[in-house]
Amino acid sequence: MIITDTHTHLYSEAFNEDRHDVIKKAIEQGVKRFFVPAIDSTYTKAMLQLEKDFPENTFLMMGLHPTHVKENYKDELKHVKGMLAQRPFVAIGEIGIDLYWDKSTLQIQQDAFRRQIQLAKQYKLPIVIHCRESFDEIFEILEEEKGDDLFGIFHCFTGTLEQAQQAISYNMKLGVGGVVTFKNGKIDKFLNQIDLQHIVLETDAPYLAPTPYRGKRNESLYILNVLNKMSEIYGETQEKIAEITTANSKEVFKV
């Protein structure tokens, strides 16, 4: 059984003490594909090192995270462009809009999101969307940009059934992680109405650890808890869920 974690920040400082152990432990349990989103230029070196250490298992994205869209965001986007010109990446991500931490940057977040969607189209890459308290703002831009050349993943999906269907209408898979195991996570109530072909699994490690690890550091290994919950929701074996969601990840990332 091969399990794919479509969203994990394994280069994060949270893993500085035991990164290799954490990754090896996950690989031993069948989590063999790690898709790694960018945050900003300060993490690029650590991401490249991670790929060097685990070249068979690690797939890198490039992009500017919405919470890191500051006054210097155009310089950060130059870095993204420069990296894309230098070497291959599997996606532009994570990108999007986050209005939980700072609503005052909405305009520049929108600009950065649009520019990075254009880059994704230029390089024929998927986008990986970060959405926090910003469904309307994100859907507005996706509506402008929709087409065969727009596709990707709605990372850490936490919306309603209607929002799930709208995201899927823009060629997006839904990234399902630890939230599906939360008592108040809500998405577990309607997910079985969404065909599994639209779902990929993720952890967002070191964030959003699933039950029973909620509030602790998340690890890619804990995707097994997500897999177990998805098996319950869909009434399918864990092997079947892993097979379908890994196939979906290959469809998006082309690897």
- List strand residue ranges (DSSP E) for the chain, in order: 3-5, 31-36, 58-60, 92-98, 127-132, 152-154, 172-176, 199-201
pLDDT tens digits along 46-99: 999 999 999 999 999 999 999 999 999 999 999 999 999 999 999 999 999 999
Helix (H, G, I), strand (E, B) or coil at 108: helix
Give the domain CATH number at 160: 3.20.20.140
The radius of gyration computed from the CA coordinates of the chain, to the nearest angstrom, equals: 17
Helix (H, G, I), strand (E, B) or coil at 150: coil
pLDDT tens digits along 115-139: 999 999 999 999 999 999 999 999 9
* C-alpha to C-alpha distance for 175 and 129, rounded to whole angstroms: 9
Domains identified in the chain, total number: 1
CA distances from 61 to 64, 120, 135 (A): 10, 11, 22
Instruction: List the one residue out of 63, 57, 103 whose CA is nearest residue 80.
Output: 63
Helix (H, G, I), strand (E, B) or coil at 84: helix
- Virtual torsion, Cα 143, 129, 30, 10, nearest 10 deg: 170
Q: pTM for this one?
A: 0.97
With residue 24 as reference, give the H or E element that holds it.
helix 19-28
pLDDT tens digits along 171-186: 999 999 999 999 988 9
Helix (H, G, I), strand (E, B) or coil at 140: helix
Instruction: List the one residue out of 217, 197, 199, 198 whose CA is nearest residue 207.
Output: 217
- Domain with 182, as residue range(s), is 3-253
